[in-house]
Amino acid sequence: MPEVLDLTFFLFAIPAVIFAGVSKGGFGSGAAFAATPLLALILEPGAAVGLMLPLLMLMDVTALKPYWKKWDGPSAWALVLGSIPGVILGALVYRAVNPDVFRVLIGLVALGFVAFQGAIKLQLYRPSGRRMSRTGGRIAGAVAGLTSFISHAGGPPAAVFLLSRGLDKTTYQATTVVTFWAINLFKFMPYAFLGIFTWQTAKADLFLIPFAVFGVWLGVWAHRMFSDRTYFALTYVLLTVTGIKLIFDALT
């Protein structure tokens, strides 16, 4: 973190936090991770991750109210239970493994899933119509827990599972909200133990709280304004951008 929270910091941090809030509040959290790479342009990667977690937790709590009990319980449980070993593994390997490895892998998963859905739309492939099982959800949750711990990039693996479940847009959104509320809670103590939080990141978070809340409510409003078809089209676009951005960040 910079010793002084100057204009440059806020020019990057405010848009990043608002964007993450909009994604959290209305678009399945899939692109909320992008705030971290943006902040990493001006901060050390560890500082960017530590800065964002308390704000993401605040966004989770803010988004819980408009989506309360609108989630799909079995899908959420599968992801949350699966995320526990993923978070534990993330804590164990955080200092040892290059985060770029995880960025490439999850980026490929995100792009592969969008390509798979595109093949279905173009009738290049006809699926059996079976939804991804809860076991698949637990696997997706483990990947989400791991990648979320490393770089807050748990949205794409969760989306791969949830988009296969045939949920309507509000159920999908509510399920991501409650899922990442739990995952981010799981991450808090390991982050503190590893020294990822600092007094400087806490100070910066205090200034950014209003923008985090504003972003969530802007996302909730946008969620209500779009139809299911438009909503999921935007979700796939965000998933594509997310995948490309992750791979680009890793390779550059």
The model's pLDDT over 135-187, given as tens digits with 9 standing for 90+, comes to 889 999 999 999 888 878 787 788 888 888 888 888 988 999 899 999 999 99
User: Cα–Cα–Cα angle for 127, 132, 138, nearest 5°?
Assistant: 155
The model's pLDDT over 4-40, given as tens digits with 9 standing for 90+, comes to 577 888 888 898 898 888 888 877 766 676 777 777 7
* pLDDT of amino acid 126: 65
For the chain, the average pLDDT equals: 83
Asked which of 68-77, 86-95, 113-122 is least confident by mean pLDDT, the reply is: 113-122
User: Cα–Cα–Cα angle for 106, 112, 116, nearest 5°?
Assistant: 145
Which residues contact residue 4 at a Cβ distance below 8 angstroms, ignoring those fewer than 6 apart? none
Question: For residue 59, what pLDDT band results from cuts at 50, 70 and 90?
Answer: very high
CA–CA gap between residue 180 and residue 65 (Å, rounded): 14
* pLDDT of amino acid 200: 85
Are 149 and 86 spatial neighbours (Cβ–Cβ below 8 Å)?
A: yes
The model's pLDDT over 185-242, given as tens digits with 9 standing for 90+, comes to 999 999 999 888 888 888 889 999 999 999 999 888 888 887 767 767 777 787 788 7
Question: For residue 96, what pLDDT band results from cuts at 50, 70 and 90?
Answer: confident
CA–CA gap between residue 135 and residue 126 (Å, rounded): 22
